[in-house]
Amino acid sequence: MPIANNQQEEIEALRSLIEETPDPVGLYVGREMRIQLANKAIKQTWGKWDVVGKTFREVLPELDEQGFYKLLDQVYTTGELYEAKQQEVVLTIDGVPKLFYFDFAYTPLKKADGTVWAVLNTAKDLTELVLARQRLSEAEARTRFVLDSVGIGSWDLDVVNRLVWWDDRCRELFGLTNTDIIPYEEVFKFIHHADRFMVDAAVNDALNPAKGGNYNVKFRTSGVENDKVKWLHCQGKAYFDAEGKPYRFSGIAQDITEAVASEEKIRSAEQLTQLAIEAAGAGTFFIDMLNNEMIYSPSLGRVLGGLEQENISREQFVNFLHPDDTDKRAKAYEEGFKTGKLSYEARFIWKDGSIHWVKTLGSFIFDPDGNPVVLMGVSMDITTEIEQREEQERLLLLIENTNDFISLSSPEGFVTYVNKAGLELLGFENIDEAKRPNMDYIMPDELPKLQEQINPSLLSEGQWSGHINFRHFVSKEPIPGYGTTFLLKDRYSDRLLGRATIFRDLRSEMASQKALAESEQLFRGITTASPAALWMSDDNAQIIYVNKIWIDWTGVPLEGHLGEGWLNYVMAEDVEKASAKFLSDFNGRKFHESHFRIKNPNGTERWVVCTGNPQYNSDGRFTGYIGACVDITDQKQLQQQKDEFIGIASHELKTPVTSIKAYSQVLEAMFRRNGDEQKANMVLKMNTQIDRLTNLISDLLDVTKIQSGRLQFNHSYFNFDEMITELIEDLQRTTQRHKIKAEIHPVGEVYADRDRISQVIVNLITNAIKYSPDSEDIIVKAELNNKEVEVCVQDFGIGIDEDKQPYVFEQFYRVSGDKQHTFPGLGLGLYISSEIIKREGGRIWVNSVYGKGSTFCFSLSQNRI
């Protein structure tokens, strides 16, 4: 049913809504601005109550001073709307001037001929917006009040027994307070005698099936029991059975005294109500629950997004509800059927697709069987409030859950709020305990700081930060920490609202700092006590620390070694090698190991071996190296002595062994000549052992020569293929088990030391024989590749572990393991071979799989000149 059909009632409803709307509405008539209407909100804002009938200037002299009367006059005379945003207004409330902020409009109201007859003042109080939460709850309370004060009573007529049931409100309206069921005829006692006949006729009409069953009358009460006469508006409906007999007649009653009294004044109020409702931003609706018909104000259409022009049904209205919120609405109705009150917040999707939060509050009217017959209510757009509430809730949640102490206090320093962490920190059981002067929060010896520093700084700067000792509420123990306190000001008026304080407990930080200092001291102690020199670099290969030992060794203070300074104290001959090795290990983030000599200005020299490991922090970021250097001067000296001894010993051994060899050869020849084959063979065996001894001695001599740099080379051209074929034939004779297969691709002439190269090949083939006791094949390959001679000796023997392979070319290195003693040797052959190949400018390497066999190879340039 569209609103226009029931204009008068709608106007009544809207009037009472204006009265209760949370936003100020005032109507000033004539050029003298006589106040004809001032709703509760505007009176509250003004702080003045007895205002209707007086002029604007009389009631609000302070606004006249601020130029508002002039503005009203301008609107009145020009007929032009005046609107202001966030206007500052000072109102004198109870004799005290107070600052407010308003969005407001002065709207001229015109007669049919276009002349202005009044100015409508609508406003939005922004002062309260700042305290959104408070405003929200106030608005809610007011709206609830709107509904309650709508004050509708309901009644039911038992057509057969002619008895009337009426609810408390209804009885109150009629002026009767006790019985809730009375005979129909008795009702007339409470109706004004002049209206009795009219009411009875209307009831009879309603009960006449031919007339549609509607009942709608306005009448006066008789004013019993000293009650004054009221105007009531009764609406109802009769229901008929199949035979056309009425079985039920029920409806509502509403007090319209005030509306009727001011009926004349409202004549031009339609315009007024439209504007006022707009200012209030709320819409009203009335639903007949029996036939599901809905009447709603145009402003409800606006709340739902541009539907004011349309005449939508209740079903259509529900269709605008956000699908996720339909359950919410259904639950609210379920609850409302029980309690009589409807209340829910739900999203509506406007025609333009935007989503709006709408709060709906309503009251149900029930028939005697408890079925809802009528629902009246208000809907308003609360999107902004919801957003503010959410924002505020988020902030509150943040504050509540932060680990730091946060408090709010009055400008004078009386604490009104402390967050959860704060209560816990200070040992308060609840917020009430915490409500006390801020002096109680700090240690007594901090009071002078409060007076001499904090308060003055708050006054001059608006804030203070610094170290301060709080006090535990229960134990009275100090809590050292860092605090910040600042003044809170109203964002519009700069008015002082209070103080906020944030405090961070620094105990654990201080404890860990102490622990850090202690551990640093411990670390220093250890490094100083360490017999090794310790060093540390940053992630840029710059030295950032060396310990006392290194400083003592070099005789140069720490500063001298920082960055790359340490290289200045490395012996000149070793600088390049030490620096290159460090950088290459560093750049590869590899374990670093390097041997070099360092010097001390007093002339002493020291051999050191330095090692280091890359370091990573907890995030896995590389931070530099930490390492140690050990003094190996003594070992180096011992090694030198040992080398010298081996050199002398092997040299001294060589001469007698050579003569023994000569004699034994003579002896063998003599036995053979005499036909004594048995003895000759024994001497031959002796000879073989003497050869082994000679070989060992010559290996040892080679090593000494290599170390002293005296290994001689005699270069000449020779046929490489011939040489290698001869060697293979010779070595094949020394073994019965193995088959040495030659895969020689002709190499031709080579310029090198024939004997030394033979020595290498012999060594590789001998090893292949020695370390493959259980297999037969040994493959010797030779070929020319880009003028490089490459020789490989492959066996299928015991093989070498991958991690041992890099060391086999080192002096005295023998792969240890259970088989070590099965294979005789000194661990010199590969060392000598690799030194020879290096000296010849070539490369030597190994490929091996443990348990499968090894391939040792070397390559040489064919023509070294």
Considering the complex, state which of residue 277 and residue 836 has its C-beta at the smaller distance from ligand ADP.
836
* Least Å from the CB of residue 819 to ligand ADP: 8
Stretch that binds ligand ADP, among 79-87, 187-195, 265-273, 820-828 (CB under 6 A): 820-828
Q: What's the helix, strand, coil split of the chain in %, to 5?
A: 45, 30, 25
Considering the complex, state which of residue 479 and residue 808 has its C-beta at the smaller distance from ligand ADP.
808
- Quick check: 700 binds ligand ADP (CB under 6 A)? no
Considering the complex, state which of residue 42 and residue 836 has its C-beta at the smaller distance from ligand ADP.
836
Stretch that binds ligand ADP, among 258-266, 461-469, 723-731, 827-835 (CB under 6 A): 827-835
Look at residues 224, 234, 226 and name the one whose alpha carbon lies nearest to residue 186. Answer: 224
One symbol per residue from 165 to 194: x for binding ligand ADP (CB under 6 A), - otherwise; what is it? ------------------------------
* Least Å from the CB of residue 811 to ligand ADP: 8
- Quick check: 368 binds ligand ADP (CB under 6 A)? no
**CA–CA dist 266, 851 (Å, integer):** 113
Residue 198 has which token pair? 């009219």
* Least Å from the CB of residue 854 to ligand ADP: 4
**CA–CA dist 363, 153 (Å, integer):** 11
CB-based contact 625:613 (threshold 8 Å): yes
Helix axes 754-770, 720-733, angle to 10 degrees: 40
- Cα→Cα distances 112→115, 190, 793, Å: 8, 42, 121
CB-based contact 744:721 (threshold 8 Å): yes
Choosing from 144, 581, 814, 843, the residue that interacts with ligand ADP (CB under 6 A) is 814
User: Which residues, numbered 755-794, are part of the site for ligand ADP (CB under 6 A)?
Assistant: 767-768, 771
What is the DSSP secondary structure assignment for residue 452, as one 8-state letter?
I
Closest residue to ligand ADP, based on beta-carbon distance: 825
**What type of residue is 15?**
R
Choosing from 22, 24, 298, 829, the residue that interacts with ligand ADP (CB under 6 A) is 829
Look at residues 48, 26, 20 and name the one whose alpha carbon lies nearest to residue 139. Answer: 20
* Least Å from the CB of residue 855 to ligand ADP: 8
Stretch that binds ligand ADP, among 85-93, 497-505, 747-755, 807-815 (CB under 6 A): 807-815
Under rule CB under 6 A, how many of the chain's residues touch ligand ADP? 20
In sequence order, the 6+-apart residues with CB closer than 8 A to the CB of 256 are: 12, 218, 231, 232, 233
- Quick check: 38 binds ligand ADP (CB under 6 A)? no
Considering the complex, state which of residue 784 and residue 857 has its C-beta at the smaller distance from ligand ADP.
857
Choosing from 330, 526, 662, 826, the residue that interacts with ligand ADP (CB under 6 A) is 826
* Least Å from the CB of residue 755 to ligand ADP: 18
* Least Å from the CB of residue 672 to ligand ADP: 33
Residue 834 has which token pair? 């690799």
Choosing from 144, 314, 827, 838, the residue that interacts with ligand ADP (CB under 6 A) is 827
Choosing from 213, 301, 481, 797, the residue that interacts with ligand ADP (CB under 6 A) is 797
- Quick check: 462 binds ligand ADP (CB under 6 A)? no
Stretch that binds ligand ADP, among 37-45, 72-80, 247-255, 829-837 (CB under 6 A): 829-837
Considering the complex, state which of residue 380 and residue 828 has its C-beta at the smaller distance from ligand ADP.
828
Considering the complex, state which of residue 547 and residue 854 has its C-beta at the smaller distance from ligand ADP.
854
Choosing from 325, 367, 795, 835, the residue that interacts with ligand ADP (CB under 6 A) is 795
Choosing from 235, 419, 527, 854, the residue that interacts with ligand ADP (CB under 6 A) is 854
Helix axes 383-401, 132-150, angle to 10 degrees: 130
- Cα→Cα distances 611→73, 188, 608, 630, 861, Å: 95, 115, 10, 9, 36
* Least Å from the CB of residue 827 to ligand ADP: 4
Considering the complex, state which of residue 619 and residue 803 has its C-beta at the smaller distance from ligand ADP.
803
SS3 state of residue 87: strand
CB-based contact 120:25 (threshold 8 Å): yes
Choosing from 136, 830, 837, 860, the residue that interacts with ligand ADP (CB under 6 A) is 830
What is the DSSP secondary structure assignment for residue 622, as one 8-state letter?
E
Considering the complex, state which of residue 206 and residue 700 has its C-beta at the smaller distance from ligand ADP.
700
- Quick check: 813 binds ligand ADP (CB under 6 A)? yes
At 244, give phi and psi (nearest 5°).
Answer: 85, 15
* Least Å from the CB of residue 580 to ligand ADP: 27
DSSP 454-475: IHHHHHHHSEEEEEEEEE-TTT
Which helix (H) or strand (E) segment is 648 a member of? helix 633-673
* Least Å from the CB of residue 797 to ligand ADP: 5
What is the DSSP secondary structure assignment for residue 862, as one 8-state letter?
S
Considering the complex, state which of residue 367 and residue 790 has its C-beta at the smaller distance from ligand ADP.
790
SS3 state of residue 209: helix
**Strands 293-296 vs 25-29: parallel, antiparallel or unpaired:** unpaired
* Least Å from the CB of residue 831 to ligand ADP: 6
Other CB atoms closer than 10 Å to residue 179's CB: what's the count? Answer: 11
- Quick check: 844 binds ligand ADP (CB under 6 A)? no
- Quick check: 847 binds ligand ADP (CB under 6 A)? no
**What type of residue is 230?**
K
Choosing from 217, 760, 828, 836, the residue that interacts with ligand ADP (CB under 6 A) is 828
At 652, give phi and psi (nearest 5°).
Answer: -65, -35
Look at residues 837, 741, 736, 728 and name the one whose alpha carbon lies nearest to residue 790. Answer: 837
Look at residues 579, 581, 562 and name the one whose alpha carbon lies nearest to residue 570. Answer: 579
Considering the complex, state which of residue 728 and residue 798 has its C-beta at the smaller distance from ligand ADP.
798
- Quick check: 556 binds ligand ADP (CB under 6 A)? no
User: Which residues, numbered 249-278, are part of the site for ligand ADP (CB under 6 A)?
Assistant: none
* Least Å from the CB of residue 808 to ligand ADP: 4
Considering the complex, state which of residue 441 and residue 771 has its C-beta at the smaller distance from ligand ADP.
771
- Quick check: 693 binds ligand ADP (CB under 6 A)? no
Considering the complex, state which of residue 215 and residue 809 has its C-beta at the smaller distance from ligand ADP.
809
CA triplet 823, 829, 834: central angle to 5 degrees? 140
Considering the complex, state which of residue 423 and residue 769 has its C-beta at the smaller distance from ligand ADP.
769
CA triplet 255, 256, 257: central angle to 5 degrees? 100
DSSP 232-291: EEEEEEEEE-TTS-EEEEEEEEEE-HHHHHTTTGGGGHHHHHHHHHHHHTEEEEEEETTT
* Least Å from the CB of residue 813 to ligand ADP: 6
* Least Å from the CB of residue 840 to ligand ADP: 18
Considering the complex, state which of residue 192 and residue 738 has its C-beta at the smaller distance from ligand ADP.
738
Considering the complex, state which of residue 106 and residue 771 has its C-beta at the smaller distance from ligand ADP.
771
**CA–CA dist 102, 85 (Å, integer):** 7
Strands (E), 41-184: 82-93, 96-110, 116-125, 152-158, 163-166, 181-183
Choosing from 800, 836, 837, 860, the residue that interacts with ligand ADP (CB under 6 A) is 800
User: Which residues, numbered 68-87, are part of the site for ligand ADP (CB under 6 A)?
Assistant: none
Contacting positions for ligand ADP (CB under 6 A): 767-768, 771, 795, 797-800, 808, 813-815, 825-831, 854
